Amino acid sequence: MRPLILVFFLFITLMDSYFYGQSLQHYRYIVEPLLIPSLFLYYLLSSKKKTTLVLLAFLFVWLGDVLLMIERSPIFLQWAVFFYWIMQLCLLAAFAKFWKLYSFKAHFLGLLLYRSYLAVFLNHVYASLGEMKLHGLVYGLTLSIFGSISIMNLLINASKKNYLLCIGILIFSIRDVFLTYNKKYFNEEVFTFSIPILHGIGFFLIIRAFLYFEEQQMEPEKISEFKLER
């Protein structure tokens, strides 16, 4: 069942990319709202210890996608960014129980990388953000904190789940950069085909990472149950 869902998810992602690139917006109204729900179904079938915050992240990223797709007025874009920001907070809070403690000095490397990335990006587009300046700044800072923590966690423990999370956040952030350039810098759809693909792959990798984190959390519980049985 899960492989079929992944095939469907990939199909939806590619179709959304094609419709976006061809400016077939009326078809995107049908296809794009199915992207996150298909991944949500995959998560439900794969997870043995579902995390409430991850479930909420699915809801908010879907709401952000729908509002961004409709975007009848500037307020739609503002609310879309707000829902994406809540999604980031949910994932960051869910990840808090899994990352290892380290000093600020150790964290500085990841912080430097993502803050530099954010600073260069905002320096280029900040003036063109208009009424979205505060939204962009808060969302960008949250994403840079999440990204820098994931990098340091990867450097401390180079495991598959940490690789997936780190790469997933990076890909998702690149998609955000492309969207910002389209909406506020170029004021036209310059980046098209790549945005749905980056969105789908980025969020999928993040969810795969959390599935591994949930399995990791279950291991001590299994050991405790085994000891009690003995």
Q: What is the pLDDT of residues 97-109, one digit of tens each?
A: 877 655 555 556 6
Which pLDDT does position 119 carry in this prediction? 67
Which pLDDT does position 144 carry in this prediction? 83
Which pLDDT does position 153 carry in this prediction? 83
Which pLDDT does position 111 carry in this prediction? 63
Instruction: Dump pLDDT digits (tens) for 107-124.
Output: 566 566 666 666 666 666
Which pLDDT does position 217 carry in this prediction? 77
What is the pLDDT averaged over residues 46-58?
94
More confident residue, 56 or 145: 56
The span from the CA of 127 to the CA of 104, in Å, is 31
What is the pLDDT averaged over residues 177-190?
77
Which pLDDT does position 100 carry in this prediction? 63
Which pLDDT does position 219 carry in this prediction? 63
pTM, full prediction: 0.86
Which pLDDT does position 221 carry in this prediction? 55
What is the pLDDT averaged over residues 164-175?
93
Which pLDDT does position 36 carry in this prediction? 97
Instruction: Round the average pLDDT of the chain to a whole number and report it.
Output: 84
What is the pLDDT averaged over residues 21-43?
94
Which pLDDT does position 211 carry in this prediction? 95
What is the pLDDT averaged over residues 23-50?
94
- Structural domain harbouring 85: 2-229
What is the pLDDT averaged over residues 125-147?
80
What is the pLDDT averaged over residues 15-37?
93
What is the pLDDT averaged over residues 137-154?
84
Query: Does 30 score more than 60 pLDDT?
Result: yes
Q: Do the beta carbons of residue 87 and residue 57 sit within 8 Å?
A: yes
Q: What angle do CA 11, 17, 20 make, to 5 degrees?
A: 140
Please report, rounded to a whole number, the percentage of residues in the chain having pLDDT higher than 70: 81
Count of domains for the chain: 1
